[in-house]
Amino acid sequence: MLKHRAIIDVSGLPATVLDHRSPIWWGNTLLLAIETTMFALLVACYFYVRVVDFTVWPPPNGNAIPPVYNTAPDLPLPLLNLGILLVSLVPMIWADRACLKRDARAVKFGLTLCVLLGIAVIAIRFLEFKSLHFKWSDNAYASIIWTLVGLHLTHLVIATSENLIMTIWVFVKGLDDKHARDVRVTAVYWYWVGVIWVLLFITIWGGARWL
């Protein structure tokens, strides 16, 4: 049945947009807002116990044999890992840009590199836990920093897995509009993983030396 009607014809509008105008982008950003709030609250806990419950910071480790008096987390390995994580942002930015031009080859290359670097960061992260000089069950300070590092590790794993799926997809199914949008949104998640680690790094490694 056809009728006379005033209409707004939207068939000419694009079916996909690749930036903040996409609902997918909004969903991702709002989820990141939730996770950021979570980390912010944990950092608040860190400062809270420092001010209210401890006089020596970081506290000495009496459980270790022999006891460790200076328990500030080591710098060399974690600093290296921070560097690798920040370096991994570069191929991701490259792949991100390439999506705008639908350059499948560049996207494949950038994503693969990012996944490999991500796996390296995860592997080294497991070694980083030793540099904390505490077991998570030693005291409240240890519990908080283990949770901060562990939660970030969870994000590293999830984000790298997401990057991996995106990579496999481009290889198997190619780079169409929708997938280019998905890669760009995944890139935002990876940038967040990197940037938030900078803030957490300063809190944990800096807090131990400056508070």
Partner 1 sequence: MDDSEKISRLSATPTRVSEQWFEEPHAEQLDHVWSPPRGFLGWLVTTNHKDIGRRYIVTAFIFFLLAGILALMMRIQLARPENHFLNPDVYNQIFTTHGTAMMFLFAVPIMEGFGLYFVPLMIGTRNVAFPRMNAFGYFVYLFGGLMLFGGLLTNTGPDAGWFAYVPLSGPQFSPGHRVDIWADMITLTEIPALVGAVEIITTVFKQRAPGMSLNRIPLFVWAQVITSFMVLFAMPSIMLASGALAMDRLKNVNTHFFNVAEGGDALLWQHLFWFFGHPEVYIIFIPGTGFVSTIVETFSRRKMFGYPAMVLSLIATAFIGFGLWVHHMFATPLPKLGQAFFTGASMLIAIPSGIQIFCWIATLATGKPKLKIPLLWVLGFIVVFVLGGMTGIVLASMSIDIQVHDTFFVVAHFHYVLIGGAVFPLFGALHYWFPKWTGRMLNRALAQWQFWLFFIGFNLTFFPMHILGFHGMTRRIYTYLPETGWGNLNLLATIGAATMGISVLLFLINVAVSRKSGALAGENPWGGSTLEWMTASPPPSYNFLHLPTVAGRCPAWENTPETPVVSGLSTTEREVLTTTILDAVPEHRYEISPDSIWPLVLALVVGLDLLWMIFTPWAYPIGVFVGLVVLAFWFWRGNEPGWVVEGIMSTPPKSKTEQLALKTEDAKAPSHH
Q: How far is CA 25 from CA 65, 96, 187, in A?
A: 51, 13, 11
Binding mask 154-183 toward partner 1 (x if CB under 8 A, else -) reads: x--xx--x---x---x---x--x-x-----
Candidates 109, 129, 146, 171: give the one binding partner 1 (CB under 8 A). 146
Nearer to partner 1, 63 or 70 (CB): 63
As given in the structure block, the two tokens for residue 101 are 């031009």
Residue 64 · residue 135 · CB < 8 Å: no
Part of the chain binding partner 1 (CB under 8 A), chosen from 36-44, 71-79, 97-105, 106-114: 36-44
Question: Strand pairing partners for 68?
Answer: 61
Question: Contact letters (x/-) for partner 1, 67-106, by CB under 8 A?
Answer: ----------------------------------------
Bond from prior residue into 66 cis (ω within 30 degrees of 0): yes
Look-up: residue for tokens 């609250």? Answer: 41
Residue 133 in tokens: 């000089």
What gap in Å lies between CA 36 and CA 54, rounded to an integer?
Answer: 26
Amino acid at 120: A
Among 99, 121, 132, 142, binds partner 1 (CB under 8 A): 142
- The site for partner 1 (CB under 8 A) is made up of 1-17, 21-23, 26-27, 30-31, 33-35, 37-38, 41-42, 45, 48-49, 52-54, 59, 136-144, 146-147, 154, 157-158, 161, 165, 169, 173, 176, 178
